[in-house]
């Protein structure tokens, strides 16, 4: 669904003054008005459920095995790990199948304690969720916590990076050595593994959770995975039924490896938002083009480019169901070197090996 922000972008394109080229040719750069970022989100209440409350789950483990029934206030890292692990608790454990990570079996949309429905979409929306998405379970944290309407990338934000495993949702790169741990209701480990976030590894998601868009030309859908080092991928291939002549375009959003795991553990995905640069807002803030991308999205000073990007929501897809919902299966015998148990989603394959591919198609006719 295109929102009003898309109409505003079209108006900006049609009314830009060509005389600006005499001041700075970058004012007329067409890339200022293309799709530039994607954000992922879920229901507002979910930012306080799922893996957002690790302090309520007390674990102690040796050699990767969680001891059942232990007590205490902290997660004791006997193996000398860094301690910033993501912990999720399953509410169903029947044989080799366990449900994805809702807070409990009864806290669904018809229970007052947890309204798990995402906000109904409207063309007037300027963010994915209008209710607060600030994680109150980390209220004791000294820094100001983000309220973006979508998932933040706390790992990359130095002001809140020490709480990334509470705030979510994009995984650190594998060399950070952070672990995900899945436990049953009794506190026993079902699965664990080392997180390997591809978005942060390739530095294509900024601290505010905006994933960079790569403008791949004439790329076929079969070649998308090889191009993900540049973020989400715009692709156009006649073989895919997508081309400028037909008035269609498509974008692939692929949470791979650890990103798929943490998104699932933190409550999944109900919203996909597509954004353009808000050129007017940046000019009003004295931020001049070119608007280069930076994963820290910091405002540079002095002789360096002032590349702090301000985005405008232009398209939004909202789903009743969590796109990351899955059933863990066959976790017996899996360990950190294997699949970690997070596998067999609905047409996803193994979350830890690849992750799902979401394709958004745009029809401009």
What pLDDT does 318 receive?
95
What pLDDT does 321 receive?
80
Q: Is the predicted pLDDT of residue 54 greater than 70, yes or no?
A: no
Per-residue pLDDT, averaged over 123-151, amounts to 87
What pLDDT does 240 receive?
67
Residue 176 sits at φ, ψ, to 5 deg, of -75, -15
Question: Is the Cβ–Cβ distance between 130 and 119 less than 8 Å?
Answer: yes
Q: Is the predicted pLDDT of residue 100 greater than 90, yes or no?
A: no
CA distance 244 to 95: 50
What letter would DSSP give residue 362? E
Q: Where does residue 77 fall: left (phi above 0), alpha (psi -120 to 50 degrees), or beta otherwise?
A: beta
**Peptide bond before residue 169 is cis, with ω within 30 degrees of 0:** yes
The residue segments making up the domain with residue 8 are 4-363
> For 238-290, what is each residue's pLDDT tens digit?
666 676 677 788 888 988 778 888 898 888 899 999 999 999 898 888 888 88
CA distance 244 to 34: 14
The chain-wide mean pLDDT, for the chain, equals: 74
> For 25-41, what is each residue's pLDDT tens digit?
888 888 889 999 999 99
What pLDDT does 40 receive?
96
The sign of the torsion formed by the CA atoms of 181, 358, 157, 258 equals positive
Q: Is the predicted pLDDT of residue 116 greater than 80, yes or no?
A: no
- Highest-pLDDT range among 150-154, 250-254, 326-330: 150-154
Q: Is the predicted pLDDT of residue 74 greater than 80, yes or no?
A: no
> For 204-250, what is each residue's pLDDT tens digit?
999 999 999 987 666 777 777 667 777 888 777 766 667 667 778 88
Question: Is the Cβ–Cβ distance between 101 and 191 less than 8 Å?
Answer: no
Question: Is the Cβ–Cβ distance between 37 and 209 less than 8 Å?
Answer: no
Indicate whether this model's pTM tops 0.85.
no
105 against 282, higher pLDDT: 282
Number of domains comprising the chain: 1
Q: What angle do CA 347, 48, 125 make, to 5 degrees?
A: 75
């Amino acid at each position: 669904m295109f929102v009003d922000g898309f109409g505003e972008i079209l108006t900006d394109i049609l009314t830009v003054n060509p005389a600006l080229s005499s001041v700075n040719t970058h004012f007329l750069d067409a890339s200022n008005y293309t799709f530039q970022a994607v954000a992922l989100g879920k229901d507002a209440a979910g930012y306080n459920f799922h893996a957002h409350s690790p302090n309520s789950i007390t674990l102690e483990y040796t050699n990767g095995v969680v001891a059942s029934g232990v007590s205490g206030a902290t997660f004791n890292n006997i193996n000398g790990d860094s301690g910033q692990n993501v912990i999720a608790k399953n509410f169903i454990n029947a044989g080799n199948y366990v449900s994805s990570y809702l807070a409990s079996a009864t806290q669904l949309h018809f229970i007052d304690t947890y309204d798990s429905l995402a906000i109904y979409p409207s063309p007037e929306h300027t963010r994915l969720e209008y209710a607060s998405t600030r994680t109150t379970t980390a209220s004791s944290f000294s820094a100001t916590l983000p309220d973006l309407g979508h998932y933040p990338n706390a790992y990359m934000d130095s002001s809140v990076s020490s709480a990334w495993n509470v705030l979510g949702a994009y995984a650190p790169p594998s060399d950070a050595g952070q672990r995900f741990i899945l436990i049953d209701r009794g506190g026993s480990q079902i699965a664990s593994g080392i997180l390997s976030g591809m978005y942060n590894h390739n530095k294509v998601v900024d601290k505010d959770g905006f994933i960079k868009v790569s403008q791949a030309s004439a790329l076929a859908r079969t070649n998308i995975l090889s191009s993900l080092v540049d973020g989400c991928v715009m692709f156009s291939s006649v073989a895919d039924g997508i081309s400028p002549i037909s008035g269609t375009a498509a974008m692939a959003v692929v949470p791979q490896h650890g990103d798929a795991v943490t998104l699932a553990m933190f409550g999944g995905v109900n919203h996909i938002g597509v954004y353009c640069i808000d050129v007017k807002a940046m000019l009003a803030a004295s931020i001049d083009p070119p608007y280069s991308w930076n994963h820290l999205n910091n405002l540079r000073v002095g002789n360096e480019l002032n590349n702090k990007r301000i985005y405008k929501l232009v398209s939004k897809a909202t789903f009743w169901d969590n796109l990351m919902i899955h059933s863990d299966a066959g976790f017996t015998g899996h360990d950190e070197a294997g699949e970690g148990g997070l596998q067999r989603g609905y047409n996803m394959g193994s979350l830890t090996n690849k992750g799902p591919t979401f394709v958004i198609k745009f029809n401009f006719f």
